[in-house]
């Protein structure tokens, strides 16, 4: 019958307890007593690495004793979980299959963009230039501008005297101005419409149909969108007398809430886009008086604030002069 003593000494029934105690005390403190976990899981402790190698025969005998008599110790599940969580928190490496699936999903997305309608990967076009080169409405706006040239005569006296025919013509002009305004909100179409002559058509409409409030309002609306953040279109409006046409529209329709509000918005965009428009407006002898004559109570949205800003800028320029 075997008896296990506290420090690993093994006693049998044939030896007295005193002899076992002396054998226990004779054990050297420097001698390494391996933990059962070291033998079970192959873990080498720091003390076992630093200790001197013993006699191979003695080591073999001690191994047999440990294999026969050491108790079987099962590691605690909490210990294993804590080790795994500590390792996983330090570095997370995706599996090879996960990387492959991630890359394949990116490839599908790129291919889907490249195969969008109207795009061509063979011609070298990329998604970065898609919004500038793949516009489907370019031919449409060109046809609309050409149609407006036919509807608007060069001479105001050439307009039909028949009221029914004139109303039909002006309604179509208004519809096409509103349609072009929707396109002109895009920077690309602002450039295209400026090249196709939409600015000239709008200014001509303000001159020819000076007594048609609907055409005046929609024409000023289109000019507002065309000049926004575009100095080239603003310069074109100045050259062909667009600012004068807007001031004249306000003078003829000083009680119109729509025309006055749109005129203020257009003048504000013109002066905000190009400094030359501000200087040109300040040199116009009656421009400031016309803007001051507008009743702020009839203006809509932020037009009252824009009116005050215009007046302050014009007043400052006149003081400098």
What DSSP string describes 186-218? Answer: SHHHHHHHHHHTHHHHHHHHHHHTTT-HHHHHH
pLDDT of 83-93, one tens digit each? 444 444 444 44
Backbone angles phi, psi at 256, to 5 degrees: -85, 120
Report the chain's mean pLDDT, rounded to a whole number.
73
The pLDDT value recorded for residue 105 is 43
- Residue 30, Cβ density class (10 Å: 0-12 exposed, 13-18 middle, ≥19 buried): exposed
Token pair belonging to 286: 């009656």
Architecture of domain 137-320: Alpha Horseshoe (1.25)
- pLDDT tops 50 at residue 52: no
pTM above 0.85, yes or no: no
Mapped onto helix, strand or coil, the DSSP state of residue 230 is: coil
CA 69 to CA 97: how far, in whole Å?
Answer: 47
Would you kindly state where each structural domain of the chain is located, as residue ranges? Answer: 1-29, 31-70, 101-134, 137-320
The pLDDT value recorded for residue 127 is 47
Average pLDDT over residues 224-246: 94
Q: Are 183 and 141 in contact (CB under 8 A)?
A: yes
């Amino acid at each position: 019958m075997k008896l296990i003593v506290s420090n690993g000494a093994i006693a049998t029934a044939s030896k007295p307890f005193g002899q076992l105690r002396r054998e226990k005390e004779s054990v050297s403190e420097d001698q390494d007593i391996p933990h059962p976990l070291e033998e079970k899981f192959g873990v080498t402790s720091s003390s076992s690495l630093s200790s001197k190698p013993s006699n191979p025969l003695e080591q073999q005998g001690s191994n047999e004793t440990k294999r026969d008599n050491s108790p079987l110790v099962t590691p605690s599940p909490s210990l294993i979980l804590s080790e795994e969580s500590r390792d996983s928190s330090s570095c997370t490496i995706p599996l090879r299959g996960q990387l492959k699936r991630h890359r394949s999903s990116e490839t599908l997305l790129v291919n889907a963009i490249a195969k969008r309608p109207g795009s061509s990967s063979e011609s070298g076009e990329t998604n970065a230039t898609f919004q500038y080169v793949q516009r489907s409405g370019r031919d449409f706006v060109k046809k609309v501008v050409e149609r407006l040239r036919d509807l608007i005569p060069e001479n105001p006296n050439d307009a039909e005297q028949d009221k029914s025919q004139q109303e039909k013509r002006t309604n179509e002009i208004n519809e096409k101005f509103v349609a072009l305004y929707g396109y002109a909100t895009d920077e690309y179409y602002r450039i295209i419409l400026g090249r196709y002559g939409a600015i000239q058509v709008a200014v001509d409409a303000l001159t020819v149909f000076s007594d048609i409030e609907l055409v005046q309002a929609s024409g000023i609306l289109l000019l507002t969108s065309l000049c926004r953040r575009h100095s080239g279109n603003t310069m074109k409006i100045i050259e062909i007398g667009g600012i004068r046409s807007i001031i004249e529209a306000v003078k003829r329709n000083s009680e119109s809430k729509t025309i006055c509000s749109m005129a203020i918005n257009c003048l504000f965009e013109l002066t905000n886009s190009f400094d030359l428009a501000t200087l040109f407006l300040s040199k116009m002898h009656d421009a400031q008086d016309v803007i001051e004559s507008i009743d702020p109570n009839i203006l809509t949205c932020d037009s009252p604030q824009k009116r005050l800003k215009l007046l302050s800028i014009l007043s400052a320029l006149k003081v400098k002069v």
